[in-house]
A and B are shown apart, each in its own frame.
Chain A
């Protein structure tokens, strides 16, 4: 059985992101990049599935984007992915084009399951998973916090606004994951060193028969204003007084 896990390269969420003065992107000089944290949860789940399985399971990590994505794919190999495929692309990618590329990779690789993050923490679009499922006409289970393997499919707990929903999906399927699903492991140093020497597979857009068709064009970025004038109160009494004055209680 084969599991496909797309891994996106995103700015480190623990760093402050600043918009460039010309509004044409973010200032990424010295900005460290990491694998999208949700994709790491997806990768951890794929590795756990392999570790628990009696049969043979192959975990394939996929990166799409500039050559620098190699770094995140090597992290995926160090965590335990069996193979890593890079689809080099220097054009701006929106979720639609990511989903189209993944669709073609799925047709080439024929995985039974695509596990991916419910969102990427840079554009926060939450689109690629359902787009891919729609393009493949596969069932989907989004925001998974628990995945159980049953005869003929998966039982998935989904974190929705209304609470935890449970669904059953037949395979092949697309599952997007939420953070409570697991805690991604740290790769041991030896694995990190080994991953450096591994060969990445490269699949070009031409090989996939694709050209980018933009759907979302970002015209400009503006830095968002933040911060409020905090009035410090000295006691609970004073806080209650202020809240009553503000007519919120």
Chain B
């Protein structure tokens, strides 16, 4: 198999999530005696390209027109490179970048796409992919018909690929600027992260649920404990619906799917939809006033307590006060 992996980057290096997609790609290449290349897109890419080359050969599409991630500009570039390199598999980390851009590229390439893949195997010469459905209540084994195949993988399910022993080549691609004046325009980005780590990559995530009564309480309890643990803040959907937490914090089936070493659930009941987002966490701790809350059967440690009392105490003890 000739495999292309879309390398998401932050201007400095390749995102950890993309290295999970690379781990999937390397395994497919090893099973089929194939090859793997990164596809890196954007503008002023020298630093991320050098980082990417530590893992695999890099194809670089660098253009001022690609400075911002607009689907109707990126997708034709991806589709053209897949066709030109005669790649039979395009891989990427599932996340909003891939859901927007790689999916559009897949639409240009015939639509043989599986999203959110959590496992794979080669059987009878064919690639079988496992992906969750129904908020994780079912695991589907699927086959893709047609070529090329497009797969996004859940970073939680694949350990990030390690560096190669040698540094690989970096090959610039020619980008036809004429094709890149699409009918969309990028206007800006606003983030609520408040200096905390990215929730998708954080080792520790603290989430709050319905028991949190205001934005101030969210910041003090969820944010405060996240800071004491050096982690990120998350939330359930009801808190997003009431405007207490920003949407980008939402963990679950329709929000972020994460796999931190430690997940702390504060005052949240543990709906199926929420739990679908944290199934792969190594350790789950729940604090809830209701001893019957379903979150306790999904947790490794449980404390039945009012979070308004327990969390300030926990923060103080963790900080050694």
Contact = CB atoms under 8 A, between A and B. Distances in A.
B165 to A, nearest CB: 31
A163 B71 CA distance: 17
Interface stretch (B40-48, B51-59, B187-195): B187-195
Interface in A77-135: 94-96, 99, 118-119, 121-127, 129-135
Interface in A10-42: 11, 13, 16-19, 26, 38
Given A123-B133, A163-B190, A164-B190, A169 B99 contact: no
A138 to B, nearest CB: 8
Interface string B93-115: 00111011001111110111111
A232 B304 contact: yes
A214 B145 contact: yes
B240 A179 contact: yes
A127 B301 contact: no
B96 A131 contact: no
B96 A159 contact: yes
A168 B247 CA distance: 21
B247 A159 contact: yes
Nearest to A37: B254
Nearest to A140: B71
Interface residues of A, number: 86
B113 A26 contact: no
Contact of B107 (A11, A134, A232): A134
Given A224-B136, A249-B229, A215 B247 contact: no
Contacts of B140: 218-221
B183 A169 contact: yes
Given A127-B103, A139-B183, A121 B112 contact: no
A243 interface: yes
Report the contact-size class of chain B (Cβ under 8 Å from the partner): 35 or more
A145 B188 CA distance: 15
Nearest to B17: A161
Nearest to A234: B303
Given A121-B254, A233-B303, A221 B107 contact: no
B143 interface: yes
B27 interface: no
B200 A178 contact: no
Contacts of A203: none
Contact of B318 (A95, A180, A234, A240): A240
B134 A122 contact: yes
A216 B144 contact: yes
B171 to A, nearest CB: 26
A207 interface: no
Contacts of A143: 96, 99-100
A18 B283 contact: no
A192 B104 CA distance: 37
15 contacts: A26-B134, A127-B103, A160-B189, A161-B248, A213-B146, A218-B141, A219-B128, A221-B140, A224-B137, A226-B275, A232-B303, A237-B317, A239-B301, A239-B314, A248-B204
Given A123-B133, A167-B187, 6 more contacts: A17-B137, A17-B138, A124-B253, A167-B70, A224-B136, A230-B298
Interface of B: 70-72, 75, 95-97, 99-100, 103-108, 110-116, 128, 132-146, 182-193, 198, 200, 204, 229, 237, 240-241, 246-248, 253-254, 256, 261-262, 272-273, 275, 279, 282-287, 296-305, 310, 313-314, 317-318
